[in-house]
Amino acid sequence: MASLHVCDAHTHFFSRQFFDLLSGQAAQARGLSGVGAEGILPGVLEQTGIELPDPSPRKHAERWLSELDRHGVDKAVTFASLPAEAEAVREACESSGGRLIPFLLVDPTSAAGIDTGRRALAEKGFRGILLFPAMQKFDPADASLTPLYDEAAARRAPVIVHCGILAIKLRDLLGLRPSYDLRYANPLAVIAAAERHRETTFVIPHFGGGFLREALIAGAQSPNIFVDTSSSNSWTPVEGTTLEEVFRRALGVFGPRRILFGTDSSTFPRGWRAEILTEQRRIIAAMGLDEADEARIFGGNLLELLGP
């Protein structure tokens, strides 16, 4: 296989601040106070094998950059996975020489949340946003999100709308599992937003996360809707299909210009999920795509979306 300039469109930074914030939420839920990550997380970390990151966002960024170097990855989008983690991720990405690209989780269920997301794009260097309708229980096409989508369009900032099955193991183990409402997780809901905001780019991750047919319909209807390939896509048995078939159908609708490669990498010591790249390159090669289209999927499309 030819070498590629790989850019990962979907990773989570998971700073020390992220773990501290989750620990604080778990402690509050249990009626505890003054308990940090070291006090409430050891049992969970032992179960999962996850290592706590360095408290310094810049040092954690150095570890991620070392991982990218080790696997030959040029750049990676990395998420602030809680709104309050934004400053840590901003600092980390600022120190990365442009190789870590900051996106922010936004809670748009209040005017303050929408304004925070808008200002993160306009003033703080964030290059995209992440929405979780099933967790936050909102319609992504609601008119209240217009200022956020307009800012995203002006900044060439993709809007990632998580659809389909939602499982966040760390939250579950900490006893913080919210009540997910998958009525808000249907990719069809993204169509109305995309049609109303045609200058905004929307991305449905994980091929729709179990709503493959609906994600394909969304892509067929709206040319400003993309998909990403991230995660191990363990939902495929729900669809009664294989990842090879998922790629075949996605290419038939989105073509090679609206598919973004991603891994959903997040924690150490697992680090960057190289096996996902290997498997997806194998699938793409078997389909006979030329090198130019392969290069688009594994990095070129993301760089073109974000622009200079």
Query: pTM value?
Result: 0.94
Q: Is 1 a member of any domain?
A: no
Does residue 38 surpass a pLDDT of 70? no
Domain that holds residue 267: 6-306
Does residue 179 surpass a pLDDT of 90? no
Encoded tokens for 247: 């790629």
Q: Is 302 a member of any domain?
A: yes
**Number of domain units in the chain:** 1
Q: Which residue, chain included where needed, has tokens 């966002």?
A: 57
Does residue 37 surpass a pLDDT of 60? no
Structural contact between residues 228 and 10, judged by C-beta atoms closer than 8 angstroms: yes
Encoded tokens for 4: 């590629």
Residue 36: pLDDT band (50, 70, 90) is low
Task: Tell me the three-class secondary structure of the chain, residue by residue.
Answer: CCCCCEEEEEEECCCHHHHHHHHHHHHHHCCCCCCCHHHHCHHHHHHHCCCCCCCCHHHHHHHHHHHHHHHCEEEEEEEECCHHHHHHHHHHHHCCCCCEEEEEECCCCCHHHHHHHHHHHHHCCCCEEEECHHHHCCCCCCHHHHHHHHHHHHCCCCEEECCCCCCCHHHHHCCCCCCCCHHHCCCHHHHHHHHHCCCCCEEEHHHHCCCHHHHHHHHHHCCCEEEECCCCCCCHHHHCCCHHHHHHHHHHHHCCCCEECCCCECCCCCCCCHHHHHHHHHHHHHCCCCHHHHHHHHHHHHHHHHCC
Does residue 85 surpass a pLDDT of 70? yes
Q: Higher confidence at residue 121 or residue 25?
A: 121
Encoded tokens for 60: 């954690």
CATH (domain of 139): 3.20.20.140
Does residue 303 surpass a pLDDT of 90? yes
The pLDDT mean for the chain works out to 93
The angle, 0 to 180 degrees and rounded to 10, between the axes of the packed helices 16-29 and 57-71 is 120
Q: Which residue, chain included where needed, has tokens 């609206």?
A: 258
Instruction: Say what the pLDDT of residue 27 is.
Output: 75
Encoded tokens for 42: 């050891």
Per-residue pLDDT reduced to its tens digit, 47-80: 888 899 999 999 999 999 999 999 999 999 999 9
Does residue 201 surpass a pLDDT of 90? yes
Instruction: Say what the pLDDT of residue 33 is.
Output: 64
Q: In angstroms, rounded to a whole number, what is the distance separating the alpha carbons of residues 140 and 272?
A: 30
Q: In angstroms, rounded to a whole number, what is the distance separating the alpha carbons of residues 38 and 303?
A: 39
Residue 35: pLDDT band (50, 70, 90) is low
Q: Higher confidence at residue 276 or residue 22?
A: 276
Structural contact between residues 80 and 89, judged by C-beta atoms closer than 8 angstroms: yes
Residue 188: pLDDT band (50, 70, 90) is very high
Query: What does residue 10 show for φ and ψ, rounded to 5 degrees?
Result: -155, 90
Per-residue pLDDT reduced to its tens digit, 281-294: 999 999 999 999 99
Q: Is 253 a member of any domain?
A: yes
Residue 142: pLDDT band (50, 70, 90) is very high
Instruction: Say what the pLDDT of residue 77 is.
Output: 98
Instruction: Say what the pLDDT of residue 31 is.
Output: 65
Q: Is 271 a member of any domain?
A: yes
Q: Is 27 a member of any domain?
A: yes
Q: Is 83 a member of any domain?
A: yes
Structural contact between residues 8 and 73, judged by C-beta atoms closer than 8 angstroms: yes
**What sign does the CA torsion over 163, 190, 145, 139 have?**
negative
